[in-house]
Structure 1
Amino acid sequence: MIISAHCYPVYPDWLEQLLKAFEDQSVAVSYGKQRGADTNHFSEHQFFRTYFPDINQPDQGQPYTHNANAAIRKSLWEQHPYNEQITGLEDLAWSSWAKDQGYSIAYVSEAEIVHIHQETFKQVHNRYRREAIAMKQILPESHFSVRNMVGMFIQKSISDLSQARRENIFWKEFINILRFRLVQYLGTWQGYRYSGKIDQKLHRQFYYPPGSLTDKIPESRPIKPIRYPGEE
């Protein structure tokens, strides 16, 4: 059972629904619906709607899964754990392996969680660059050209802006939509172009960039701490 620390279930039978898929012995992994919180970017809400529909897929035809909200058959996990050497998309790498072994992947819309993000645009760029590097490791023959970058930026921006217009928040979200889609596909393109060494240094750069909480020094307080009996 896997759920991200910044997710929470919507319904009390969330876990029951997620595990029900394993009644079919061919199922290797199940994953559930995701929706965003008020702090998520508008474009990320559209991503959730696209990739996590309201209709179940007990045996989907492609290997996509998302381990923010998923369950994996234990015997298969013990046989083939996640690849911790890649920079991301370890869930996709695992489900691709499972599909190659002849197993099924189940999408369960009733197993719904809220996935909270409060990312800056720099963090969004970092995430998509990291995932693109991982995608090249998983699928070396895949590519993402400048033409792909521009085409996807235009296509997804128009789609998001159309949805924002339907929700009467076009001007409120206009700049944010364009910025999100720009850093998303710029990061993806840069990740596909990366040809350097993939090692622990790169992992630290992605997961603990300069300015992250691990690098921050707390300010000293202008008040002395309590001195308890026995302390020097």
Structure 2
Amino acid sequence: MSDPLISIVMRSYNEAWALKETLPALAAQAYAPFELIVIDSGSSDGSQDLIHAASPAHFIQITPQEYNPSRVMNHGMRLAKSDRVLFLNADATPQGPNWLRPLADALLDKKTAACFSRQIPRPDCEAVFACDYDRCFGPQRESSTWDHFFSMVSSGLRKDVWAQRGFREDLQYAEDDEYTRWCKANGYHIRYVPESVAMHSHNYTPAQARKRAHGDARAFAQAGSISAKDRRWTKTVLLGLLSDARHDLRWCRRNKRLSEFLHALRIRWNQRLGKYTGFRTA
């Protein structure tokens, strides 16, 4: 018997450089059949030609100004024919032909609302961000002990759970964190699926790192995910920066990349300031 249909929703914006690897990697998956739904935010780098060549079931084009992550993901969920829907960012490249099946299988459990893949950084990933990937997805990942962790980049959702309550469209950041916290609060499971692997990373500038941290923190505060004591300058900036520096120094030393430690400190300083201001402006 053939496998049941799986829907895959992809968000893209000027990532032709990655789509040249991501789309063939999807086509090479051992699992079939699947439908591809692509929502592109006005790419102008040749991405649209590559997407058309992949013959998606749906190809939705919006302007960059129209982009809202929750709205896009809710739209993709509505278009999906399958009751199991996978999400893959255009710049997240499946590693090997077995990316899809472990995610699809994890969603067979009706109590599993969402699942997410292991992510590995790209070869050019700077040390400060490679350290984060190790902490979130590595063999001894710290994220398993955190209050909550989820990444939408390479993931899957059950449509019947989503139908009860989709992504909050008033949030511009951290919408996946807020949604999966809601799932857990309502008795559903969130599963990490390390057998499914995608390559994905970003080398943010200090300004970009601050903006991202600000947006995430503001969304966490809006969603009520952060207590008042966790928003204090001492904990958010001072103690947070010291903790980050300890992790980065240990990672850089272990991986013989100590020359990148000062750069890591600069990124962390900007992230911590962005986080604090995000909490304060919510």
Calculate the TM-score normalised by the size of structure 1. 0.76
Q: Deviations over 1:84-122 (max 9, x none)?
A: 211211111111111121111111011111113132111
Q: 1:74 aligned to 2:192?
A: no
User: Secondary structure, in 3 states, of the residue corresponding to 1:79?
Assistant: coil
Runs of 4+ deviating beyond 4 Å: 59-63
Q: Deviations over 1:174-207 (max 9, x none)?
A: 2211111111111111111114xxxxxxxxxxxx
Higher strand share: 2
- Counterparts of 2:125 and 2:197, CA distance in 1: 16
- Counterparts of 1:116 and 1:55, CA distance in 2: 19
Identify the residue that residue 63 of structure 2 maps to in structure 1: none
Residue 35 (structure 1) shift: 1.5
Identify the residue that residue 272 of structure 2 maps to in structure 1: 185
- Residue 38 of structure 1, aligned match among 97, 114, 123: 123
User: Secondary structure, in 3 states, of the residue corresponding to 1:134?
Assistant: helix
Structure 2 stretches lacking a partner, 5+ long: 1-85
Q: Deviations over 1:39-88 (max 9, x none)?
A: 333121111111224379xx999542110111000112222111121121
The amino acid across from 1:189 in the alignment is Y
User: Secondary structure, in 3 states, of the residue corresponding to 1:23?
Assistant: coil
Q: Deviations over 1:132-190 (max 9, x none)?
A: 000001126523221111111112112211221222221x2022111111111111111
Identify the residue that residue 99 of structure 1 maps to in structure 2: 184
Structure 1 stretches lacking a partner, 5+ long: 196-232
- Residue 157 of structure 1, aligned match among 236, 239, 245: 245
Calculate the TM-score normalised by the size of structure 2. 0.63
- Residue 125 of structure 1, aligned match among 176, 190, 210: 210
- Counterparts of 1:130 and 1:34, CA distance in 2: 22
Identify the residue that residue 173 of structure 1 maps to in structure 2: 260
What root-mean-square deviation, in Å, do the aligned CA atoms of Structure 1 and Structure 2 show?
Answer: 2.1
- Counterparts of 2:241 and 2:181, CA distance in 1: 27
Q: Is contact 1:54–1:109 with CA below 8 Å preserved after alignment?
A: no
Higher RCO, 1 vs 2 (CA within 8 Å, ≥6 residues apart):
1
Identify the residue that residue 86 of structure 1 maps to in structure 2: 171
Identify the residue that residue 196 of structure 2 maps to in structure 1: 111
Q: 1:146 aligned to 2:204?
A: no
- Whose radius of gyration is greater, 1 or 2? 1
- Counterparts of 1:19 and 1:55, CA distance in 2: 24
Q: Is contact 1:63–1:99 with CA below 8 Å preserved after alignment?
A: no
- Counterparts of 2:176 and 2:276, CA distance in 1: 21
